[in-house]
Amino acid sequence: MSESRSSIRHGTLAELGEFAIIDLVTPTAPAPAGVRVGPGDDTAEVEVRNGRALFSTDILVENRHFRRDWSSAYDVGRRAAAANMADIAAMGGTATALTVGFAAPGDLPAQWACDLASGIADEAALVGAAVVGGDVTSAEHVIVSVSVLGTCEGDPVLRSGARPGDVVAAAGRIGWAGAGYHVLARGFRSPRVLVEAYRRPEPDYEAGPDAAAAGASALIDACDGLVADLGHIASSSGVAIDVRTDAFEVAEPLQAVGAALGVDPLTFILSGGDDHTMLATFGPEVVLGERWRRIGTVATGEGVRVDGEPYQGEAGHQHFR
Amino acid sequence: MSESRSSIRHGTLAELGEFAIIDLVTPTAPAPAGVRVGPGDDTAEVEVRNGRALFSTDILVENRHFRRDWSSAYDVGRRAAAANMADIAAMGGTATALTVGFAAPGDLPAQWACDLASGIADEAALVGAAVVGGDVTSAEHVIVSVSVLGTCEGDPVLRSGARPGDVVAAAGRIGWAGAGYHVLARGFRSPRVLVEAYRRPEPDYEAGPDAAAAGASALIDACDGLVADLGHIASSSGVAIDVRTDAFEVAEPLQAVGAALGVDPLTFILSGGDDHTMLATFGPEVVLGERWRRIGTVATGEGVRVDGEPYQGEAGHQHFR
């Protein structure tokens, strides 16, 4: 970064103005090979394998999806990119390009916008993706809208393919981010490992293409909460899903926080979102790879049962409620 | 639309909750042929001609980019989609798929969200594109973030290809939306034709692919204002652009409003944005099709000159200023 570029970051967005901000947050790293036109023109141009693009968008609103006193700008960026890239993985694909719509109050330090952009770029780089465009404007609160393009080797894995007799499996951490959220919401900052799991989720991006290659019948990532998201598979597929809680290893930090807050730690696992755990169903003949943990089975019927009973806990967050 | 669907629209977003809102605004029309997976899964899947996707995003914030007392929800939708699809056209391409990030206060009538969705869908349908996904959440103000995918027959036309000796040409209305903005900002509602031009711009979407086919050397759409956007071509191409004001036909409504407001109507043409006029440069040997109006020439040097002089008017809107 040049000296003038670094000194300008000490101002606020209003002091810089739109074009200087765009300059400041535009990636300086060379674009990956598949990006034919990067930021700076009317649109980007990105190569898409097989001529089939996966395409999705998420909108994050300050004080709803993140709090500036809970997360650094860098972590908000990591988390926003992760949410979108996990959606691509949850189709069995890999993210290749992101665009970012950013709105913020004029008194926001320019450094905040820079750190946000760094977080998004660093998370994208984990899978070889890049930020290829965006839009910057002013608003009362910080809004981060990330859209993502991805590609898939073969057909994407939908939510609708689960069949009775299939095995339900999960890849990646479950409940850690949800527990971290509970910790932060009570005004605590530790255990740090859970707070960090909330601030910077670590989706198992490779689990998506891995599930597709293994012939998964359905695939989703847990963002609303495990039961809520398995419910999406159940309703899309027209099946019931039985989850067994003895399949989960309740890790020590979850136990400790559950005890401290007086919450059954299984609540974090069953209701907590934000970990972007990959949830897949596989035909009974499939031998699960080592990243997959069997957590239940698919049956005829509807809805999600936990240990044979309809789940009574909260089923995940719904906005406007 | 079913009766239950129509009656639910009388509530507010908070009364409906996130999932019912998504149901309500999700397109019911069959998806166009190129949409392999539409709304309802983790991402959409869209076919992309040539395996090369044009990709862009815009974020519109209430009271910055639109006012609910100036524009209907339907018109906000038309305008938001138009801005994005014009960006695709300004690469020489055609939009195929859109995603929408929507944030709004809980007391917003559900009908507003429905009308916004209709406006976006109807504008998209003008070029055979469709809304394939989105995200809904709550916020203090209405935010509409539209992302768009598009395809191009050949290479996209960038801003950077203009060469001295090229002709500068424009397709579509210029200054009408800008004049409409001035009218609304002064508290008036007529002339209706200008107010409507602001509320619902009508980009000449076909002019983009047409320019590409004719071998345009550079292409952009006027959203910041004619001089500002020609300035982007000039700086990206490392050239100067000379605009001749006698090339513009100052239409009667612009003259009338200019006289009424005491503003030189050329100001609307040179500084007004929002019409998404297509601006292209062509080699001197190209015979311009009938939709193109020659408005200037490309020269060595830098910047944009109007009738031989550096332009003194405001050069277009910059956020945070």
Rounded Cα distance, B93 and B156, in Å: 7
User: Which 258-317 residues of chain B touch chain A by CB within 8 A?
Assistant: none
Residue A19 has pLDDT above 90, yes or no: no
Give the residue extent of every domain in chain B.
3-151, 167-310
Rounded Cα distance, B218 and B241, in Å: 12
**Interface contact A137-B13, CB threshold 8 A:** no
Chain A residues inside the 8 Å CB shell of B48: 48, 51-53
> What's the one-letter identity of residue A78?
R
**Interface contact B140-A136, CB threshold 8 A:** no
Residue A8 has pLDDT above 70, yes or no: no
Could you count the other beta carbons within 10 Å of the beta carbon of residue A294? 13
Please name the residue of chain A whose CA is at the shortest distance from the CA of residue B97.
A55
Chain B residues inside the 8 Å CB shell of A321: 14, 17-18
Residue A72 has pLDDT above 60, yes or no: yes
**Interface contact B61-A103, CB threshold 8 A:** yes
Chain B residues inside the 8 Å CB shell of A139: 61, 64, 141, 143
User: Which 176-195 residues of chain B touch chain A by CB within 8 A?
Assistant: none
- Residue A40 structure tokens: 């700076």
CB-based contacts of B30: which residues, under 8 Å, 6+ apart?
none
Decide if A208 touches B, using CB distance below 8 A.
no
Could you count the other beta carbons within 10 Å of the beta carbon of residue A247? 14
B90 → closest Cβ in A42, A148, A321:
A42
A222 Cα to chain B: minimum distance (Å): 11
Cα atoms in the Cβ-side hemisphere of radius 13 Å centred on A8? 19
A93 Cα to chain B: minimum distance (Å): 10
Q: What is the DSSP letter of A246?
A: G
CB-based contacts of B300: which residues, under 8 Å, 6+ apart?
B164, B239, B240
Q: What is the DSSP letter of A106?
A: T
| pLDDT number for residue B182 | 92
**Interface contact B18-A43, CB threshold 8 A:** no
Could you give the ipTM of this predicted complex? Answer: 0.92
**Interface contact B91-A64, CB threshold 8 A:** no
| pLDDT number for residue B21 | 85
| pLDDT number for residue B2 | 44
Chain A residues inside the 8 Å CB shell of B88: 42-43
Residues in chain A: 321
Q: What is the DSSP letter of A112?
A: H
Chain A residues inside the 8 Å CB shell of B47: 51-53
Decide if B153 touches A, using CB distance below 8 A.
no
Decide if A238 touches B, using CB distance below 8 A.
no
Chain B residues inside the 8 Å CB shell of A273: none
Rounded Cα distance, A297 and A243, in Å: 7
Write phi, then psi, for B97 (nearest 5 degrees): -150, 145
**Interface contact A137-B59, CB threshold 8 A:** yes
Those residues of chain B that have pLDDT short of 70 are 1-8, 313-321
Reported as type and span, the H/E element at residue A309 is strand A309-310
Decide if B100 touches A, using CB distance below 8 A.
yes
B47 → closest Cβ in A51, A65, A141:
A51
Burial class (CB in 10 A: 0-12, 13-18, 19+), A152: buried
Residue A109 in contact with residue B292, Cβ under 8 Å?
A: no
Please name the residue of chain A whose CA is at the shortest distance from the CA of residue B222.
A42
Residue A43 has pLDDT above 70, yes or no: yes
A138 → closest Cβ in B136, B147, B319:
B319
**Interface contact B57-A99, CB threshold 8 A:** yes
In whole numbers, what is the pLDDT of chain A averaged over residues?
92
In the A/B pair of chains, how many CB contacts fall below 8 A?
Answer: 243
| pLDDT number for residue B17 | 85
A41 Cα to chain B: minimum distance (Å): 6
Best of B23, B46, B91, B145 to disrupt the A interface (most A CBs within 10 Å) is B145
Residue B169 in contact with residue B137, Cβ under 8 Å?
A: no
CATH number, domain A3-151, options 1.10.3720.10, 3.30.1330.10, 3.90.190.10, 3.40.50.1370? 3.30.1330.10
A244 Cα to chain B: minimum distance (Å): 25
- Scanning the structure block, which residue is given the tokens 């559900």? B110
More confident residue, A15 or B316: A15
Write phi, then psi, for B288 (nearest 5 degrees): -70, 135
Q: What is the pLDDT of residues A191-208, one digit of tens each?
A: 999 999 999 999 999 999
Rounded Cα distance, A134 and B291, in Å: 30
Residue A30 has pLDDT above 90, yes or no: no
Rounded Cα distance, A158 and A208, in Å: 11
CATH topology of domain B167-310: Phosphoribosyl-aminoimidazole Synthetase; Chain A, domain 2 (3.90.650)
Decide if B36 touches A, using CB distance below 8 A.
yes
**Interface contact B64-A91, CB threshold 8 A:** no
Decide if B83 touches A, using CB distance below 8 A.
no
| pLDDT number for residue B8 | 65
Q: What is the pLDDT of residues B16-44, one digit of tens each?
A: 888 888 888 887 778 888 899 999 899 99
Could you count the other beta carbons within 10 Å of the beta carbon of residue B303? 15
> Residue B61's beta-bridge partner residues?
B143
